[in-house]
Amino acid sequence: MAGGDPVSDELACLECDKAKDECGVFGIYGPGKNVSRITYFGLHALQHRGEESSGVAVAGGKIEVHKGMGLVTEVFDDDILNRLQGDIGIGHVRYSMKSNSVINAQPQVFRYPWGMVALAYNGNLTNSTDLMEDLSRKGVIFQSISNTEIMANLLARHYEGDIEEALRKVTCEIQGAYSLVVMTQNKLIGLRDPFGIRPLCLGDLDGSFVLASESCALNTVGAEFIRNISPGEMVAIDGGGLKSTSLTNNNRQAPCVFEYVYLARPDSTIDDINVNIARFGFGKQLAQENKVDADVVVGVPYSGTTAALGYAQERGLPFMEGLIKNRYVGRTFIQPSQKLRDLRVRLKLNPVKEILEGKSIVMVDDSIVRGTTSRKIVKMVREAGARKVHFVVSCPPIAHPCYYGIKTTSRDELIASRRNVEEIRHHIGADSLYYLSLRGMLEVLDLPEEKVCAACFTGKYPIDVSGCRACDNKSFSEKGC
């Protein structure tokens, strides 16, 4: 699709005015099972964590990999899956800004003197620039800008015959968020950073261990959820079973709260909290904090729906589907011409006049990033006859970029980094605007602030990000898993 021109940017914005997970990972140690196919189905369940590239690697003697740009259903077919025979499999889906960058697709496979290793990464290293510079000085060359290549090179430097020991040493040098699955020719390893920023969980599929970013992938392949990988835990799975090691005695844990707000699939349960129930709770909490008079509660589909349901229930107001999303909206799409530009919003969302006309509306969305889409929605809803539009958001204002593996946008484009709530209300044209309080959010989750990462709301980064800030003038997302 053409980039750059204002028309397509504005359209694209409807799609991308959301923060995005950068990756999903999956792994299975399953001798005798069809590991490539199970990995494929696992990735299919994690597709929302990355639509741009998909990859599967299997180990059976040596390691084979297939990856490409696109959804798993586009990158794989029966022939390819049949060729990928092995006992262990890992997979990766990825969101990426760069078109055609199949070179950066994962899993990435590396050849060491002692064997092959495949890595699939979710997260972001905050000291990657330092690490790259240091490694470069020592003669390492990079074929891409990726955390994976950094990890792989550190691994080479620390390996002395024991992959787990080497990984342990690597974790002493790296800083940032990482939920990793690593596959050697005979072992599957899962690893979660000491703060536990990105999720990772463990399941059991008929006696075989399975690792996945979210529990929905366990359910999809028919595995039982066993437990979450703990922050700072490494599990190594081979013919001898599973061995768990704690890499850290870190007390400050910081799982990302934004997974609950928007990123994760609603049927996933992350660190013992179900995502759908959390979202419903955010909506209820919102309703306790914000009691505007209204006739009807409407959610922005699909991500605002659950909080809207909670809000409506708590307030005793009717929830109605006042905005309908065209479910055929996809990635490849012909741009309307300038003359037709007014139809751009309506290609994706259409208001139901009969529901909105003459009504005072509470419009619930999960978050506001740039504010562009929110403004369009408010305008559309007013044109459909709404008398009042009260906009409520089921998280606090996002005023700080994420450096831990979420693609938001540059700081300057985060509307809440430059404007206060009243200014944002004015900008999006709502009659009122209310954000969920952080306190309220944490109450719903029943977690103290010290047990989560809420840096995108508070700016209090649990892991030092000064190295990342240096590149903050650019969109941060150039780097990434």
CA 25, CA 39: separation in Å to the nearest integer? 10
- Binding a copy of itself (rule: CB under 8 A), the pick from 9, 136, 458, 478 is 136
Q: Which stretch binds a copy of itself (CB under 8 A): 23-31, 237-245, 270-278, 360-368?
A: 270-278
Dihedral (CA of 208, 209, 212, 217) sign:
positive
Q: Which of 274/437 has CB closer to a copy of itself?
A: 274
- Binding a copy of itself (rule: CB under 8 A), the pick from 130, 173, 238, 267 is 267
Which residues are registered as beta bridge partners of 246? 233
Q: How far is the CB of 340 from a copy of itself (least distance, A)?
A: 7
CA 306, CA 299: separation in Å to the nearest integer? 8
Q: Which residues of 47-64 are buried (b: 16+ CB within 10 A; e: fewer)?
A: bbbbbbbbbbbbbbeebb
Whether omega before 107 lies within 30 degrees of 0, making that bond cis, reads yes
- Binding a copy of itself (rule: CB under 8 A), the pick from 106, 127, 269, 477 is 269
Read off the amino acid at residue 272. D
- Binding a copy of itself (rule: CB under 8 A), the pick from 247, 320, 441, 445 is 320
Q: Which of 189/455 has CB closer to a copy of itself?
A: 189
Q: Do 199 and 179 touch, CB atoms closer than 8 A?
A: yes
Q: Minimal CA–CA distance to 145: which of 133, 159, 158?
A: 133
- Binding a copy of itself (rule: CB under 8 A), the pick from 13, 15, 41, 419 is 41
The footprint of a copy of itself on residues 348-377 (CB under 8 A) is 350-355
Q: How far is the CB of 248 from a copy of itself (least distance, A)?
A: 25
The footprint of a copy of itself on residues 88-107 (CB under 8 A) is 100, 102-103
CA 472, CA 462: separation in Å to the nearest integer? 18
CA distances from 71 to 89, 200, 235, 478 (A): 18, 21, 29, 20
Place of tokens 């809207």: 308
Q: What is the DSSP letter of 132?
A: H
Q: Which stretch binds a copy of itself (CB under 8 A): 7-15, 109-117, 365-373, 416-424?
A: 109-117
- Binding a copy of itself (rule: CB under 8 A), the pick from 53, 104, 106, 108 is 108
219 binds a copy of itself (CB under 8 A): yes
Q: Which stretch binds a copy of itself (CB under 8 A): 194-202, 248-256, 269-277, 473-481?
A: 269-277
Q: Do 36 and 89 touch, CB atoms closer than 8 A?
A: yes
User: Residue 360: which region, alpha, beta or left (left: phi > 0; alpha: psi -120 to 50)?
Assistant: beta
Q: In 3-state terms, what secondary structure has residue 418? A: helix
Q: Which residues of 357-384 are buried (b: 16+ CB within 10 A; e: fewer)?
A: eebebbbbbbbbbbbbbbbbbbebbbeb
Q: Which stretch binds a copy of itself (CB under 8 A): 33-41, 191-199, 385-393, 465-473?
A: 33-41
Q: What binding mask, one character per residue, do residues 52-81 give for a copy of itself by CB under 8 A, x or -?
A: -------------xx----x-x--xxx-xx
- Binding a copy of itself (rule: CB under 8 A), the pick from 95, 110, 121, 260 is 110
Q: How far is the CB of 305 from a copy of itself (least distance, A)?
A: 8
221 binds a copy of itself (CB under 8 A): yes
Q: Which of 157/379 has CB closer to a copy of itself?
A: 157
The footprint of a copy of itself on residues 114-133 (CB under 8 A) is 133
The footprint of a copy of itself on residues 272-291 (CB under 8 A) is 274, 276-277, 280
Q: Which of 100/249 has CB closer to a copy of itself?
A: 100
Enumerate residues 6+ apart whose C-beta is below 8 A from 117.
Answer: 63, 109, 110, 152, 155, 163, 182, 183, 184
The footprint of a copy of itself on residues 293-312 (CB under 8 A) is 302, 305-306, 309
Q: What binding mask, one character per residue, do residues 153-182 give for a copy of itself by CB under 8 A, x or -?
A: x-xxx-------------------------
184 binds a copy of itself (CB under 8 A): no
Q: Do 459 and 400 touch, CB atoms closer than 8 A?
A: yes
Q: How far is the CB of 35 from a copy of itself (least distance, A)?
A: 11
The footprint of a copy of itself on residues 393-422 (CB under 8 A) is none
The residues annotated with a catalytic role in the active site are 23
Q: Which of 241/334 has CB closer to a copy of itself?
A: 334
CA 390, CA 429: separation in Å to the nearest integer? 10
